[in-house]
């Protein structure tokens, strides 16, 4: 990558690292198709409870496992973990997927590119973010989705619903997908004991493929935070 772009990347990420978690969550809400149906006060409650839900699940799983090694954890919990190498583009950004009941697939190509990008900065803004740690963070995010699918009848994120429409005594409700995503990020933050807001990684991973696409994330997050 050219020096000019590296400088730009470093400036943008330095700014994003100062954005608080609530602003990141509001940005995540905007990506949810149902966001216009969510009242601000209700959304504040969803954010608070989703962050707490992810944190609690991470603390519970940490108590029940003797190791935080991802392969050991996957084996212990009966998860089929597959690491693949696949190019991604601005139109198709997929870093990892969880498929019920127990399959997690992680694409290591964007992970390697994101780490290379950070290492090419004159002053790496996230010096502790190694390939292994980023792999673990992405695994942890998907691990939360595995745990919530196993506990779907009781876990907060699978039971928080919004009313899409109401007519007389009829109500049509829908799950709020963003609650799961916020909790998954919060889970990974706690599980990996990170000292920076994990949401910034969305920007880093995207920038390594498309600076234009990542700059749109930057603009939206900064606008939301103002």
Binding site for Zn ion (CB under 5 A): 181, 184
| Shortest distance, position 60 Cβ to Zn ion, whole Å | 19
| Shortest distance, position 97 Cβ to Zn ion, whole Å | 9
Q: Select 19 or 184, whichever has its Cβ closest to Zn ion.
A: 184
Q: Select 94 or 119, whichever has its Cβ closest to Zn ion.
A: 94
Q: Select 80 or 165, whichever has its Cβ closest to Zn ion.
A: 80
Side-chain-facing half-sphere of 100: CA atoms under 13 Å: 7
Q: Select 144 or 209, whichever has its Cβ closest to Zn ion.
A: 144
172 DSSP assignment: E
| Shortest distance, position 3 Cβ to Zn ion, whole Å | 34
Q: Which residues contact 149 (CB under 8 A, 6 or more apart)?
A: 98, 100, 101
DSSP 3-state assignment of 2?
A: coil
| Shortest distance, position 49 Cβ to Zn ion, whole Å | 17
Q: Select 151 or 166, whichever has its Cβ closest to Zn ion.
A: 151
Backbone dihedral angles phi then psi of residue 127, each to the nearest 5 degrees: -65, -25
DSSP 3-state assignment of 63?
A: helix
| Shortest distance, position 144 Cβ to Zn ion, whole Å | 8
Bridge partner list, 175: 161
| Shortest distance, position 123 Cβ to Zn ion, whole Å | 31
Which DSSP string do the residues of 74-101 spell out, in sequence order? Answer: HHHHT-EEEEE----BTTB---EEEETT
Q: Select 15 or 152, whichever has its Cβ closest to Zn ion.
A: 152
Bridge partner list, 97: 105
Closest-approach residue to Zn ion (CB)? 184
Instruction: Select from 137, 139, 174 the least CA-distant residue to 158.
Output: 174
């Amino acid at each position: 990558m050219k020096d000019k772009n590296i400088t730009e990347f470093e400036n943008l990420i330095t700014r994003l690292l100062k954005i608080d978690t609530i602003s990141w969550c509001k940005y995540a809400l905007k990506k949810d198709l149902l966001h216009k149906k969510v009242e601000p006060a209700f959304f504040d409650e969803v954010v608070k409870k989703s962050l707490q839900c992810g944190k609690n699940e991470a603390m519970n799983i940490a108590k029940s496992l003797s190791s935080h090694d991802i392969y050991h954890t996957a084996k212990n919990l009966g998860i089929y973990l597959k690491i693949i190498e696949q190019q991604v583009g601005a139109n198709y950004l997929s870093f990892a997927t969880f498929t019920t009941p127990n399959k997690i697939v992680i694409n290591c190509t964007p992970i390697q590119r994101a780490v290379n990008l950070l290492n090419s900065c004159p002053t790496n803004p996230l010096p502790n973010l190694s390939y292994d740690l980023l792999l673990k963070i992405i695994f942890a995010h998907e691990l939360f989705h595995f745990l919530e699918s196993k506990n779907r009848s009781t876990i907060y994120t699978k039971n928080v619903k919004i009313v899409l429409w109401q007519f007389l005594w009829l109500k049509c409700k829908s799950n709020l997908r963003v609650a799961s995503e916020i909790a998954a990020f919060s889970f990974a933050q706690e599980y990996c004991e990170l000292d920076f807001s994990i949401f910034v990684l969305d920007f880093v991973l995207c920038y390594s493929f498309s600076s234009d696409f990542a700059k749109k994330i930057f603009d939206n997050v900064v606008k939301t935070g103002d």
